[in-house]
Each structure stands twice: as C-alpha cells, then as structure tokens.
Amino acid sequence: MRTRRLDNYGKINRNIILSFRWDKKNYKGFEGDTLASALLANNIGIVGRSFKYHRPRGIFSSGVEESGALVTIGSKDRKDPNVRATTQELYNGLEASGQNAFPNVNFDLAGINNYLGRFFAAGFYYKTFMGIPPFEWGRGTAIWMFFEKFIRKAAGMGSASELPDPDTYEHAHDFCDLIVVGSGPAGVAAAIEAAEKKLDVILVEQDSLVGGDQLAENNFDNSQIKNQLENLGIKIMTRTTAFGLYDNCVVGLLERVTDHISAPNVNIPRQRFWTIRAKHIIVGAGAIERHIAFNNNDIPGVMTVNASKHYLNRYGVLTGKRIAIATNNDSVYETAQQLSEAGANVTVLDSRTNFEIETNKSFEIRKGYVPYNINGSKKIHSLDVSKSEDMNKSETINCDQVLLSGGWSPAVHLLSHRGVKPKWDYNNACFLPSDTKENITMVGSSRGLWNKNDCIASGIAGTTDALNRLGISKTNYFFPKPGGWKNPIQPLYEVKYKKSRSKSFVDYQHDVTTDDVRLAHREGFNSVEHLKRYTTLGMANDQGKMGNIIGLSLMAELLNKEIPEVGTTVFRPPYTPVSIGALSGRNVGKHFRPLRVTPMHQWNIDHGAKMIEVGLYQRPWYYPKENETLSDSYIREASTVRKTVGICDITSLGKIAIQGPDSTEFLNRIYSNGFSKLQVGKARYGIMLRDDGIVMDDGTSWRLAENEYFMTTSTGEAAKVMSWLEELLQTRWTDLNVNVTSVSEQWAGVSVAGPKSREVLNNCVDDSLVITNNNLPFMGVTSTFLKGNIPCRIARISFSGELAFEVYVKSDFANTMMDLLWENTKKYDGCLYGLEALGALRVEKGHVTAAELDGRVTIDDAGLSKMASTKKSYIGSAMRKRGVLKNNDREILVGFFPTNLKETFNAGTIVCEKNNIKGQGIGRITSVTYSPELGHWIGLGFVKGGLDKWKDTNLVGADPVRNKQMNLKVVSPHMIDPKGERMYA
Amino acid sequence: MIRINCPYCGERDHSEFSYGGDATINYPSLDASEKEWTEAIFFRKNIKGFQFETWHHSNGCRMWLVVERSTVTHEIKSVKPCHPDLQKVVENNK
Ligand SMILES: [Zn+2]
C-alpha cells in the first residue's frame, strides 16, 4: 500500500508536529491525527498479527469497530494493551507497539500457525479441554496442560502491565432531562430541538470532535455546530462513550479525560466513569459499514470504504494509489469520486447489475462484479474478480488497496442492552431497532436512515417523541422511512473461493473464517449463541461490530433459513471496552472499603499494638515486647491475664440503646433465654436466633433502669442486629413502644480481666465500694465515675473466664480511661492484651464467636441448650425444633486435644474416623490456639454426635491444605475451670 | 439503577438502601406452629410484575419501607413506611 499525506486535504493542524514512536522507531504526525492516520501517513501498513494464525493485519476502519489495528500504548506501569489505533488520538511522545508478534509485526516467527490452521480451527480450545484428541499423538486434558502455556502466549492479545496502575479514576454522577448519544446530524438536530424547547440536554460524543460521520466530509465545519450547541446551553461531552443503557433511563458513560495528552496534570483523573440519570434517552449512534468475506480479505490494505473517506477528508491521507472498491450498495460512490479526484486510480466493482448512479465518470464502474481473492501477503498486489453471475469469468485487477462495503449495520447495541430485540429489514439488509416502551428513541442512521436530511428530520422527530412521552407536548410527528439510497442494496456477505480451502475472514479480530462457521454447523452448533461460543465469533473486544451479520448470514444459508429466523446475538454492555480502573474509580487500596477505628486506636498503637482487621475494624492484635513474635506475645499476654490482670480494647462490639416501656417484652421476644425477670443493675448473656431457628448472634444486655437497656453484640454482626431490631419494631411488632439507637460510636469499651482486675479498678473508680463483690456481683451492672469525674458504666462480665469487668466511657474519654487503667494495671505486673490472647482465653473456656456461630449452627449444636427457654416463645423457638435441626448426627461443639500433646494443628482441619479419612469427615475444627494454661495446643470445633459419642475414640485431623495429619481426641469444650470458680471470685 | 423516593429523605439512590423481602407476609405469632412458620419463612411467590417488598433505608433515615416495584421494569409505583403510625404521619404531612 502506498499512502500519502495530501497538502490540500484534511482538518489536521499542520502547524503542530507531533513525534511518536511505533515499534521503537520515531515518526511524525500532526495535531488532530489518530495513531492510525499517522501510521497510514507514514506508510505503515502492518500494525499487528492476527489472533490465531499470526497473519499480518492492517487498519480496517477509522473508528470503534476496528478489529485489526489493536496496539499497545505506553510502557511499564502505564502500558495499555488492545487499544484501537483508530480511536487513539496522537500526542507528542506517544509510544505504541504492535501486538501478538515476536520479534515484531513485520517478521513474526509464529506466522507458521498460518500453515497449521487445521489445529486452530473453531472449537480447538473446547475440544482440547473436553478430552477429544486434537492431535493424533496426544489426547485430552493432559496435552492441554502441556501446551496451554505456549498456546496462551501465542494466541493472545496484548499483555497487560502487572504493575500497580499509577493513574486515578473517578466516578461521577449527573442528571438531565434528555441525553443524546451521538453528535451526527440526527443527534445534533435532536439536541438543538430539545434545548430550544427548554430541556436540560447532555450530548455525548465518543470522538474528540462533534459531527459524527460529517467529519469525513471535505467541507464540514465542526466549530460552527459546536458553537451553536454551546450557545443553547447544551452540555457537550466529547471523548465520552455511552457504553451501556440500564434500568430507569440510566446511561453509563466513560469519559477519557487525559488519554490524548502527553503529560497530563497529575491532579486530573485519567478517566471518569459517569452515571447519568436522564428522563429520556435519544440514541443517534450511527451505523457501521460491513466488510465482505472472501479469500484473503484480511491482507493489509483492506479497509472499509467509509474509513478511506475519513482518512482522506479528515486526516489528509490518501490510503492507496490504485484502489479497488467492492460494494453492493450506493454508499461508496461519493467516496470513489473523491478518492479519484484526490489522485487515486479507482475501480468500483458493484455486485449489482441493474442500477443507475450519477458520477463524474472519473473512475471505472464494473457492474455485476465481485472480488473473490486477494493476491499478496504483507501487502496487496492484485485482486481476483469475477462476474457475480458467472464465477468462471474472472480476471485480475492490479491494485494496492481494496475497499469494501457489504452494507451498513445500524448501531442498535445500546437499545439491545435494554433487552429490545432488533428486527431484520430485507430492503436494507440490516437489523433495525424495534420500538420500546422505555423512554428511549433511536434516531438517524442507527434507525436505518442513510440520508443526511432524513437523519436531521429523525432527530427532530425523536425530540418530539421525547417531549410527548415526558408529557410536555402532544405533537404529531413521523420518522422518515428506513433506507434512502437510489438503488436497493443487494445482499452480499461472502464470495466463495472455488480453488481450495480458503481463509475468508468473518471476524478479523478472532480469526474466525467462513469455514469455521461451516464447521460449527457440521458439528451441530446451529443456534447463534452456540455459534458464537464455539467459534468465538463476535467475542473479541470489537464484539463483532463488523462481522456478526456475515456470520449470521452464513448460518442462515447453511440452515436454509432467513437471517431473522436464525436470530441475532444479544449485545450486552459495554459497547466499547471499559477499563477496570474506571470501574473501580477511587475504590482502590485503602479506599476499597471504609476503615473503622476505635477512639483509643492511636493510644493502642502508641503502646505497641500490632493491628488486625476484623470486619471493617482495626483492632489490637497483640502487643509485642522487644523481639517477641506473635505467638510469644499472645502466650505471654494470655498467661498474664490468668496470673494477674490485663486490659483489652473491646470498643468494636456493637452497642445498642434499647429504651421504652416495652423494652423488657421486646428483649424477651428476641433472645432465646428469659429476660422478663432481669433486675435493674444486672446484665445477662443472651442468644438471638433467626426466624429459621439458627443462631444469629450472641451478646449481653444490661438493665440500666426499668425501661432502659444497653445491649452489646458481636463486632461482626452489629449492623445486622441493629437492622433486625428495627425491622421487627417497624414491621412486625408495631404495637411495642420501644426505641432502638445505635450507640456503638458513642461508647469506648475496655475489658479488665484477671484475678487482680478488681484491685486495678479500685484504684481507678471514684468510689471503690461500688465494685465490691457484694455491690457488684457476677453480672452486676453499675453506673459510676472513674477518677477525674468521668462517668462510666461497669459490668462484671467475663469472656476470659477470669474475674473481669467491662468498663465503658463516652468515646471522648477513651484515652483518659486507657491512661488511668494502664497506669494501675502496670502496678500489678499486668499487660495490654490483643485479639489473639483474647482468642486463646476464650477457646480455653469454650466460648463461641463468629468462627463457631457461622450461620449453620443451632443453639443445641453450640452446646447452649440451657439458653433456650422452655417457658416462653421467642424468635426462632418454633423453627429450632424442626426435624433437620434435631437429627442425631448434627455436629455438636466440642474441644480438641492433640493425642500427642507436642503436636500442633490448625483451624479448618477436617475431623475423620481413623479408617475413613475422606470427604467431609465427621466434623471440623473452627478455632485453634496454644493454651498457656494447659501447656499444649487446643481447639474448638464440631463433631457429629458430640462429646458423648467420641470421647474415648482416637480421631484423625486431616489438613489437606497443609498436607498434614494428626491424631486427635475429643474433650469437653470447657477446657479450663469448667465450674467457673474464677469468674465468681 | 433503582431510585427510591424515601418518604422521609426524598429520592435517593438504591445503594443507600438494603433490600428486605416480601412485604405481604403476615408473620405468625411466636407461639405458632412449625408449619405456619415454615410457610412464612420459606415459601415465596415468584411474581412477574408489581410486588410489595420491604427496603431498609440503612444508609439514611433507617426507616423500613414498603416499596411497590415491578420485577420486570424496576418501575416503582409507591413507597410507604412499614410502620402504620409513620404512614399516618407521612399522610398527614402531604
Ligand atoms: Zn430515608
């Protein structure tokens, strides 16, 4: 192909010269170029290698439908693969390279695949996966495992950077009355009409300029339209693609903010992901020109006719010297004339025999001719053509470019996103949009209008439709009839090559040939959706914008059906690829989810805490001294608590204030155990079940006054419990006078645990009398003051099994409380302890947490049957008795010791009988810790039938993940102080 | 992309709400039989068209709402507080 930049053509700015690199060589282009136009102007014909066969590929189009010129832009952490060169604007310093080739696109070693085509035919991947031998010497998955890495490497698109993305992306939202997609004649007319009728309008254009296909007209003035739109107050969003339509008139947009700038301001996002909520949507997305399938129709130099018009008039690039145009419709003649006026030698082959067209006779028209084979490999040498009515009459035309027009496909994609099936139009050989009840109107050539005036009229009609539907006007309107060419189109999808096996490409990007479609049919994949998956037709990132209809027509021919009977594949969002970065927006790294910290977070860190995430919370994990490891540290902390005293931040527990005259009745209904007789000044441990009888959560409720309770929940279930209580009060028990308020953020909590805990508190409270064993017995609650006149709530509650207190102060006093408690804890050689030590202490005691209460466990499974009242009904009381929850083989909570006390084991271990180590075994281990008290590893978990069934049996713990097995014995879950003598001390 | 017109807060994005469930269920009394509870908990209609469902304005006013929504188009016909007293307050303030 010989391309040239012409002096008198194009709207590029020749005053600004841009340097760019292509495959490590320097080139120049102009401001206003795309990478594709600049490559063409530099006479670079081969820009990539094809997906399977590694055939040289050139530039096929000038827009989003591009299926050949997929390139990699940038390098290192800004490497962006599979970018369409046809839509990438050129900027100074742009770095691009061809893909899918080694060492480069001009000389690609894997080009040999072209001759091994048989192995890469449709279904290759499926067959190898499914175990049907694709090679005579091997079979099935084993050979796939062996070849996979080579094939993946050879048959891929560009590779993504594995480095973190340095760019930022934003999510943005907007509202409008009307959003217009596409700024061609129809979209612009619709927007202007709507703005004049006082609608708030957003106009979206994927190109950098407004104008749509008019940008390919040699006398088109883009700035005039832009000014007119702006003066009417229309919000114009260029470089923005409407990639999807969603429920309730929501449009998803991708705005490419800096992809065209060489050194973008680091404070602006690279792309914005917009959610636009409109009252009405008008889609004027245009139409896409199709190619024609025939042998070697992919040789660099093949292009759509319309693309060459864009390159000529917008970019001043004449894409060939001797150009053959193959068509079946009228749309090519204006282009043919302009190409020939620009100096090319043009021949038009029109498959139709009877038609009239007015031209200036500067080029040859051969009526009734079709192309059937291109000669050449890296570039076009000549084109074999024949009479469409008699394939034996053939001849060869010398040319360096072949332009194709097999008809036009209206861009019905966005409407298809809403589940609206397009209908086939025989007269225009294309799918047209169907009507929809949603507020979406299709205008312009995306409803099959080929004339500019019809497009403009349809834009105005579209806005009238919108105004009517929005109830603003009641005006009659009509849309122009689809079509608009002087002569009818003659369907032409494939020209068969008579000589031998041919490579006639249907889908350039995935190397799907006409033979692949026929193979799919032979093997029974006749439905469109099966054809798509078997051949991968239309599954590349162009989503078959050019090739789908050709594939469909071939299948129709094979099935002896009409195209509409074969159907169309459903288009799904996105219309063009959307980067993962834009989808995630700012929700990356630390912003991925909210972070919750307790009011003494910094205090904890200042005192040496290593933190761990629990749900959204950061909690102290352990407080290492000097060189202590996690396990050194938690063992020391847990031992210290048992020996003297320790303090632990428990603020992350959920806290709910329950107030009102019916509070007691309310608690009595939601907890499985009785609350009606709880005295003021006492707390009670309670279990909540779900409606279906499974345990939801456990916690404590403190009766502060006649009608006031303070409830604590587990950290993980706090939000769920709060919503649940609100649901019950607002939907089921609307007669109860109870108010619930989340006070989790308002109170900071500490557990003071250990035999010396009372001594520590004695030094911290204003009046030590309030916490004596008499005044504050086990489960007693008091509201009192810490030294310094700090109001606090203290309850004598123990999770560790030691004498222990929970102390709560208002969050603002958290640090003061910590200082006070810590100062006095140190006096008794006490420690700060974290979640790991807390875990060790509670496992020793057999106290369950979220690890055990995982949404599958009943109150009986957890060994807490005593907590289920028999004197009242409560949430879940009926359903906990249903048969499946009462089976004898339910897994019941037990403790585990290793048979050899020196051995360790892990949570997640599957418990099996000795001679039956398989499957899910008979139980599982949920929590494991080293017990400082017992001096060996212990675990909590579940086993079918529980302790009674297995207490004297040697069981095996299987840990296939760590490839480990150990002998276990089942013990009572209450592994130390089973009578609780320490707690009551 | 549902938007729900919370009677208390105004029209808000669905991401502020949590879906509850079928709003037409009359939960049996706590001492009702296992059979009645089974019906209430596990048996659901699969409605094509408008249905009443509960939504919780969990990232807003914390009100539980009855939303009449089409399962086909997501069109919302009505939004009311679940609690009858709150319903009355909303009605009186219209
Ligand atoms: Zn609200």
Tell me: the pLDDT tens digits for B24-33? 999 999 999 9
A/B interface, count of CB pairs below 8 Å:
73
**Which amino acid is located at A516 in the chain?**
D
Predicted ipTM? 0.98
**Which residues of chain B have a CB within 8 Å of the CB of A879?**
34, 37-38, 41
**Which amino acid is located at A71 in the chain?**
V
A595-653+745-855 maps to CATH 3.30.1360.120: yes
Sign, CA dihedral B41-B42-B45-B47, equals positive
pLDDT of residue A579: 92
Task: Say whether pTM exceeds 0.95.
Answer: no
Residue B25, min C-alpha distance to chain A (Å): 10
What residues does each domain of chain A span? 1-162, 167-290+408-472, 291-406+490-500, 504-563, 595-653+745-855, 654-742, 887-985
Please indicate, yes or no, if residue B33 is contained in any of the structural domains: no
State how far the Cα of A38 lies from the Cα of A30, in Å rounded to an integer.
8
**Two structure tokens written together for A561:** 């059906």
Is-same-fold flag (A167-290+408-472; A291-406+490-500)? yes
Distance B28 CA to ligand 1 centre (A): 28
**DSSP designation for A433:** P
A422 vs A53, A59, A435, A448, A647, CA distance in Å? Answer: 33, 29, 9, 12, 69
**Two structure tokens written together for A679:** 């005295």
Task: Name the residue of chain B whose CA is nearest to A249's CA.
Answer: B1
pLDDT of residue A141: 53
Q: Are A752 and A761 in contact (CB under 8 A)?
A: yes
Any idea which residue has 């080293």 for tokens? A930
Give chain A's contact residues with B (Cβ, < 8 Å): 246-248, 250, 275, 277, 438, 669, 691-692, 719, 723, 726-727, 729-732, 734, 873-875, 877-879, 881-882
Q: Are A916 and A902 in contact (CB under 8 A)?
A: no
Site from B13, B17, B34 to mutate, A interface, most A CB atoms within 10 angstroms: B34
Of A729, A734, A873, the CB nearest to B30: A873
Please indicate, yes or no, if residue B29 is contained in any of the structural domains: no
Please name the fold of domain A887-985.
Answer: Elongation Factor Tu (Ef-tu); domain 3 (2.40.30)
Please indicate, yes or no, if residue B31 is contained in any of the structural domains: no
Say what angle helices A835-845 and A630-643 make with each other, to 10 degrees: 60
CA nearest to B13, candidates B50, B51, B55: B55
Q: Are B63 and B72 in contact (CB under 8 A)?
A: no
CA nearest to A840, candidates A929, A937, A936: A929
Sign, CA dihedral B79-B83-B86-B88, equals positive
pLDDT of residue A536: 85
Please indicate, yes or no, if residue B30 is contained in any of the structural domains: no
Give the 3-state secondary structure of residue A657.
strand
Q: Are A531 and A551 in contact (CB under 8 A)?
A: yes
State how far the Cα of A484 lies from the Cα of A462, in Å rounded to an integer.
18
Q: Give A438's contacts (C-beta < 8 A, 6+ positions apart).
A: A249, A418, B73
State how far the Cα of A230 lies from the Cα of A191, in Å rounded to an integer.
11
Residue A723, min C-alpha distance to chain B (Å): 7
Q: How many CB atoms lie within 10 A of CB B39?
A: 13
Of B3, B42, B83, the CB nearest to A248: B3
Task: Name the residue of chain B whose CA is nearest to A874's CA.
Answer: B30
CATH of A654-742, one of 3.30.70.1290, 3.30.70.1400, 3.30.70.260, 3.40.50.720: 3.30.70.1400
Element (H, E) at A465: helix A452-469
A1-162 maps to CATH 3.90.1330.10: no
User: Which domain covers residue B57, as residue numbers?
Assistant: 3-23+43-92
Q: Are A348 and A327 in contact (CB under 8 A)?
A: yes
> Do the Cβ atoms of A727 and B41 come within 8 Å?
no
Distance B6 CA to ligand 1 centre (A): 5
The CATH number that domain A291-406+490-500 falls under is: 3.50.50.60
Give the 3-state secondary structure of residue A384.
strand
> Do the Cβ atoms of B32 and A874 come within 8 Å?
no
**Which residues of chain B have a CB within 8 Å of the CB of A729?**
83
**Which residues of chain A have a CB within 8 Å of the CB of B38?**
879, 882
Share of chain B residues as helix, strand and coil, in percent rounded to the nearest 5? 20, 35, 45
Please indicate, yes or no, if residue B35 is contained in any of the structural domains: no
**Two structure tokens written together for A677:** 């007789």
Q: Which residues of chain A have pLDDT under 50?
A: 128-140
**Which amino acid is located at A626 in the chain?**
E
Query: Nearest 5°: phi and psi at A594?
Result: -65, 155
CA nearest to A172, candidates A586, A588, A591: A586
Q: Where are the alpha helices (DSSP H) in A98-164?
A: 124-130, 140-154
Q: How many CB atoms lie within 10 A of CB A836?
A: 22
Element (H, E) at A17: strand A13-22
Any idea which residue has 């900071």 for tokens? A748
Please indicate, yes or no, if residue B38 is contained in any of the structural domains: no
Sheet containing strand B64-70, edge to edge, reads B18-22, B50-56, B64-70, B76-81
Q: How many CB atoms lie within 10 A of CB A602?
A: 13
CA nearest to A422, candidates A306, A563, A574: A563
A713 alpha-carbon distance from chain centroid: 33
**Two structure tokens written together for A607:** 């005192």
**DSSP designation for A300:** B
What size, in residues, is chain B?
94
Q: Are A804 and A753 in contact (CB under 8 A)?
A: yes
Give the 3-state secondary structure of residue A977.
coil
Q: Give A384's contacts (C-beta < 8 A, 6+ positions apart).
A: A371, A372, A373, A374, A375, A394, A395, A396, A397
Residue A882, min C-alpha distance to chain B (Å): 7
State how far the Cα of A892 lies from the Cα of A942, in Å rounded to an integer.
5
Q: Are A722 and A742 in contact (CB under 8 A)?
A: yes
Distance A253 CA to ligand 1 centre (A): 28
CA nearest to A568, candidates A749, A764, A431: A431
> Do the Cβ atoms of A669 and B75 come within 8 Å?
no
Give the 3-state secondary structure of residue A905.
coil
CA nearest to A259, candidates A271, A275, A243, A244: A271
Element (H, E) at A191: helix A185-196
Domain count, chain B: 1
Partnered with residue A648 across adjacent β-strands are A751
The CATH number that domain A167-290+408-472 falls under is: 3.50.50.60
Residue A731, min C-alpha distance to chain B (Å): 5
Of A691, A731, A882, the CB nearest to B64: A731
A920 vs A649, A691, A914, CA distance in Å? Answer: 37, 28, 14
User: For position B78, which CATH number holds?
Assistant: 3.30.2270.10
State how far the Cα of A961 lies from the Cα of A378, in Å rounded to an integer.
53
Residue B85, min C-alpha distance to chain A (Å): 8
Distance B62 CA to ligand 1 centre (A): 6
What size, in residues, is chain A?
985
Any idea which residue has 């009526």 for tokens? A367
| Dihedral angle computed from the Cα positions of residues A332, A338, A343 and A345, in that order, rounded to the nearest 10 degrees | 20
